[in-house]
Amino acid sequence: MTAVPPREVTRITCIGAGVIGGGWVAHFLARGYDVTAWDPAPQAPEKLRRLVDAAWPALTQLGLAEGAAKDRLTVAATLEEACAEAQFVQESAPEKLELKQQLLAQLDAATPRDVVIASSTSGYPMTDMQTQAAGPDRLLVGHPFNPPYLIPLVEVAGGDLTSERAVAWASEFYEVAGKSVITMNRELPGFIANRLQEALWREALHMVANGEATVKEIDDSITEGPGLRWAFMGPCLTFALAGGEGGMGHMLDHFGPSLKSPWTRLEAPELDSALRDAMVAGCEEAAAGRTIADLVAERDQGVIDVLRATGRLPGAKAERKAGS
């Protein structure tokens, strides 16, 4: 594969311009790329421009790349025209397997041979989507989060027929384009983040279905609770701090047995020594030399910063009331 090096990409094509495709367009424009979009819906061009206009103030606040401009967007009349000069293609069409299979084959036929084509799919493995393409080696998943112009994460995963070079190219390109990348070496259903979100979501639905909690209670339990920590420290390291100075080891020894109690409708994993050791080692690695005390200080400062940023510091509330 002789694709343009990731740092030299200037022209990006976005196929499908709904919530996610339009969000990608806004992101790439803000990072200073020329963007060509195509969407078969007749009203798509106006909708896309409205979406970019709505996103632009936030993007301006975050800081636009040099030369970034909304008028560097071109809406193509056909898929072929959109792909003819692409240096990277991001597909964000509806989540239907047959549609994705056919569309990816069409994109493969219309795009210069060496160019990587990524799908925004929320859950289909690329192995299932690349079945009809003549050049499946450059097709991969680049799974974003809504809105792609604000949420940094992209999960990158190839299918059985995707080349390692294409996966490496895409991961480097997304980083250069301002995203946070997790490159997966296997096709996990739902990737990582959606798998975690799904577990939480399943529990929320069980509680609502059984009349155990209201939607508001469920949402408040996250935004007023663990959600404040998760914005800057993931669930594993925050649980390591629940073990006090003993860290993850003490946390598992202390609370491990409660995994078997009927808190959850999901089946609990067997907490054997291999899982315990993997969790302890994973937390040590994630801490990267930070002590428990360091992590506590970081967590506390993070919560304060998030509370301040969302106007929820007690002082800020009082000021708002006084001013209203």
Ligand X SMILES: NC(=O)c1ccc[n+]([C@@H]2O[C@H](COP(=O)([O-])OP(=O)(O)OC[C@H]3O[C@@H](n4cnc5c(N)ncnc54)[C@H](O)[C@@H]3O)[C@@H](O)[C@H]2O)c1
Which residues define the annotated binding site? 16-21
Q: Are 184 and 194 in contact (CB under 8 A)?
A: no
In the bound state with ligand X, the residue whose beta carbon lies nearer, of 143 and 229, is 143
Instruction: Give the number of residues in contact with ligand X, rule: CB under 6 A.
Output: 22
Under rule CB under 6 A, which residues in 30-69 are in contact with ligand X? 39-41, 44
- To ligand X, the closest distance from the beta carbon of 146 in angstroms equals 4
Judged by CB under 6 A, which stretch of 86-94, 218-226, 229-237, 288-296 contacts ligand X?
A: 86-94
In the bound state with ligand X, the residue whose beta carbon lies nearer, of 141 and 167, is 141
Under rule CB under 6 A, which residues in 143-162 are in contact with ligand X? 144, 146
User: Which residue of 65, 70, 84, 122 would you call a contact of ligand X, by CB under 6 A?
Assistant: 122
Does residue 142 interact with ligand X by CB under 6 A? no
- To ligand X, the closest distance from the beta carbon of 131 in angstroms equals 17
> How many other β-carbons are positioned within 10 Å of the β-carbon of residue 160?
11
* CA proximity to 168, closest of 178, 177, 181: 181
- To ligand X, the closest distance from the beta carbon of 144 in angstroms equals 5
* CA proximity to 12, closest of 73, 93, 102: 73
Q: Are 70 and 56 in contact (CB under 8 A)?
A: yes
Does residue 20 interact with ligand X by CB under 6 A? yes
Distance CA 17, CA 33 (A): 17
* Bridge-based pairing state of the strands 34-38 and 11-15: parallel
In the bound state with ligand X, the residue whose beta carbon lies nearer, of 119 and 171, is 119
Does residue 180 interact with ligand X by CB under 6 A? no
Name the token pair of 260.
Answer: 């078997």
- To ligand X, the closest distance from the beta carbon of 136 in angstroms equals 18
What are the C-alpha distances in Å from 202 to residues 164, 190, 233, 256? 34, 14, 23, 22
Q: Are 15 and 79 in contact (CB under 8 A)?
A: yes
User: To which H or E segment does residue 141 belong?
Assistant: strand 139-143
User: Which residue of 14, 17, 82, 241 would you call a contact of ligand X, by CB under 6 A?
Assistant: 17
Does residue 19 interact with ligand X by CB under 6 A? yes
* CA proximity to 105, closest of 122, 138, 130, 86: 130
Asked if the peptide bond before residue 42 counts as cis, ω within 30 degrees of 0, the response is no
- To ligand X, the closest distance from the beta carbon of 37 in angstroms equals 10
Does residue 92 interact with ligand X by CB under 6 A? yes
At a CB cut-off of 8 Å and minimum separation 6, what does 120 contact?
Answer: 16, 20, 21, 24, 90, 91, 92, 141, 142, 143, 144, 148
Does residue 171 interact with ligand X by CB under 6 A? no
Under rule CB under 6 A, which residues in 258-287 are in contact with ligand X? none
- To ligand X, the closest distance from the beta carbon of 254 in angstroms equals 37
Q: What is the largest CA-CA distance in the chain?
A: 66
Q: Are 4 and 14 in contact (CB under 8 A)?
A: no
Does residue 95 interact with ligand X by CB under 6 A? yes
Does residue 99 interact with ligand X by CB under 6 A? yes
Does residue 132 interact with ligand X by CB under 6 A? no
Indicate the annotated binding residues for NAD(+): 16-21
Judged by CB under 6 A, which stretch of 17-25, 203-211, 221-229, 270-278 contacts ligand X?
A: 17-25
- To ligand X, the closest distance from the beta carbon of 57 in angstroms equals 21
Q: Which residues are near ligand X by CB under 6 A?
A: 15-21, 39-41, 44, 92-95, 99, 103, 120-122, 144, 146
